[in-house]
Amino acid sequence: MKHLISCEQCTRQNLEEIFELTDKIVENPKKYSESLVGNLVSIIFYEPSTRTRLSFESAVQRLGGTIVSTENAKAYSSTAKGETLEDTIKVISGYCDAIVMRHNEDDSSERAVKVSSVPIINAGAGKKEHPTQSLLDLYTIRQQKGRIDNVKLAVLGDLLYGRTIHSLVELISLYDNISVYGLSKKEFALPQKYIDYMKSKNVSYTVCSNFDDIPSDVDVLYHTRTQYERFGGGTGREEFIINKEVLDKFSKETILLHPLPRNEEISTDVDDDPRALFFKQAHNGVPVRMAILLQCLDKME
Ligand code: NCD
């Protein structure tokens, strides 16, 4: 039984195994269409989602497995009657072969693992982690750039509450010669613990105060929306909006990613630019999550 709850568990070799399996799934999806026949996966989400939930549901079904799910567990599960997460997981783990869970609390996956008899896959935990998103982000970088080593990555937007940012900077730190640039409003700066972590892995981190501080040959621009739901309210307009004019300051080789959903931080006038790859990135979620499911359920041949 293998859980995937934190980027801390991952090694470069694990990631490579998942990426290689993803490549094989993309090349020959039919070969994997019965890999999870007879397996039931429970998909329980305590927070809203479009991509993560539906791509996991697609992934299970494309592997021949079946699902039981609740899309709003806060309101529609016994959580609304005061049941603890621990009791809910103890019950659900008796119904299925794996649990994919999104929860608003940072330590929810660790709590679930303690009481679960089946693998837990963290599909987003509070503001802390979103490992499966980072796996598909890195897969997209590897697919587009042919490498993850020697990458210059700019992270933008909500670096304080954005779990996709936190997991991405952790996972990319497993690679060699990585430079990360951070551009956000001051009140949404990257927490020091991630800066210290990158430093411990020899990743350079540069705080930027405008687009001109990001090198024009940066490999990846990774923008994110402000996570208003984590601090209860708006703080005004996004300051660093990527539109056609801004994107054109960067190289023809720079790619623009976003975990989605986007708000105003990326204008729709860039959508037809070949460098704007966020929809392709979202579509990569299905084969990457198929590979993750195969690994967690010990079905990697
Ligand atoms: C992200 C999330 O839930 O953290 N969405 C996603 O999973 N693709 C980003 C966000 O909600 O802003």
End-to-end CA distance of the chain: 15
Q: Distance of alpha carbon 257 from its chain centroid, rounded?
A: 12
Look at residue 234 in the predicted model and tell me its pLDDT. Answer: 67
Say what the pLDDT of residue 211 is: 98
Name the stretches of the chain with pLDDT < 50.
Answer: none
Q: Is the CB of 54 under 6 A from ligand 1?
A: no
Mutational pocket test of ligand 1: of 50, 106, 130, 223, the residue with most ligand atoms within 8 Å of the beta carbon: 130
Whole-number Å distance, alpha carbon 225 to ligand 1 midpoint, is 9
Distance CA 3, CA 119 (A): 5
Q: Please tell me the predicted confidence (pLDDT) of residue 80.
A: 84
**Distance (Å) from CA 100 to ligand 1 centroid:** 15
pLDDT given for residue 76 in this prediction: 78
Q: How far is the CA of 164 from the centre of ligand 1 (A)?
A: 7
pLDDT at 244: 98
| SS3 state at 298 | coil
Ligand 1 contact via 128 beta carbon (within 6 Å): no
The pLDDT score that the predictor gives to residue 237 is 78
Q: Give pLDDT, residue 54.
A: 97
Query: Which residues make beta-bridge pairs with 266?
Result: 242
- Ligand 1 contact via 182 beta carbon (within 6 Å): no
Q: Tokens at residue 107, please?
A: 């330590």
Distance CA 181, CA 220 (A): 10
Predicted local confidence at residue 1, as pLDDT: 65
Give residue for tokens 């090349």.
27
Considering the chain, what percentage of its residues have pLDDT values greater than 70?
A: 98
